[in-house]
Amino acid sequence: MASTSSGRQTGARDRDGEGRARNARPRDGLGRPLPYGADGVARQPEGVVRAPRETVAEAQELLDAGRPFHAHEVFEDAWKSGPDGERALWRGLAQLAVGLTHAARGNVTGGARLLRRGAGAVEEWSASGSGQERPYGMDLTGLVEWARGLARDVERSGSAVDARECGPRLRG
């Protein structure tokens, strides 16, 4: 297949350096694909193994910058690489970030649904006997309340939210 100057292949799926399918289009701050050649934001590297506190700090920086899609990718790395007993927590946090992403994109129904699903997962993990009310300094009760409140607000308003203004504080 022929390659274009942007590195993508014509007539085939985009591939990363290891040959895995990966969309090479640039993305905006909410993870939406932009046209090839457009200026986008730097993508989060995938498959990075971080210490849990590093995960929380990096995700918070991204949330503070209004980039919940990218925070979701950081949480997803922790979900996929973390200990079995914590995977449900990290998956729930990833769902919260994706819920905020959808709410910021104007997908009211999907945003509210994912915010509630993530809140339920985080709440369930916290109540499951993990013995951790504030794992890695995170305020899980506050996150659950934030997510459910934002889901209600999004449904009431029926419009997109500003991800930077509406993002959560992970460490209360």
Same domain? 77 vs 129: yes
Q: Is 55 left (phi over 0), alpha (psi -120 to 50) or beta?
A: alpha
Residues 89 and 21 in one domain: no
State mean pLDDT over 104-124. 97
* Shared domain check, 61 and 145: yes
pLDDT at position 114 is: 98
Placement of tokens 């029926």 in the chain: 158
For the cut 80, the answer to whether the pLDDT of residue 139 exceeds it is yes
Residues 39 and 66 in one domain: no
Structure tokens at 158: 């029926």
In a domain, 172, yes or no: no
Distance of CA 113 to the CA centre of its chain: 15
The reply to whether 7 falls in a domain is yes
Q: Domain holding 134: CATH number?
A: 1.10.3450.10
Query: Which tokens go with 69?
Result: 């899609």
Which residue in this structure is represented by tokens 């690489």?
81
What's the CA gap between 123 and 140, in Å, rounded? 7
CA neighbor of 99 nearest in space, from 165, 30, 157: 30
Q: Is the pLDDT of residue 22 over 80?
A: no
**Sorting pLDDT into bands at 50, 70 and 90, what band is 7?**
very low
User: Is residue 144 one of the residues assigned to a domain?
Assistant: yes
81 and 127 part of one domain: yes
Tell me: do 31 and 69 sit in the same domain.
Answer: no
Same domain, 38 and 78: no
pLDDT at 1 over 80: no
Provide the 3-class DSSP secondary structure of residue 152. Answer: helix
Q: Is 101 part of any domain?
A: yes
Residues 87 and 119 in one domain: yes
DSSP 3-state of 45? coil
Indicate whether 3 pLDDT > 80.
Answer: no
pTM of the model: 0.84
Lowest mean per-residue pLDDT among 70-79, 112-121, 122-131: 122-131
Kindly state whether residue 81 falls inside one of the protein's structural domains: yes
Confirm whether 126 is domain-assigned: yes
pLDDT digits 0-9 by tens, 63-80: 999 999 999 999 999 999
- Per-residue model confidence as pLDDT tens digits over 143-171: 999 999 999 999 999 999 999 999 999 99
Q: Find the domain containing 150 and state its range.
A: 52-166
- Mean pLDDT (the chain) is 89
For residue 161, the model assigns a pLDDT of 97
- Tell me what the mean pLDDT of segment 41-45 comes to: 84
95 in a structural domain: yes
Q: Using 50, 70 and 90 to split pLDDT, how confident is the model at 102?
A: very high
How many independent structural domains does the chain possess? Answer: 2
The answer to whether residue 11 is domain-embedded is yes
Residue 29 shares a structural domain with residue 65: no
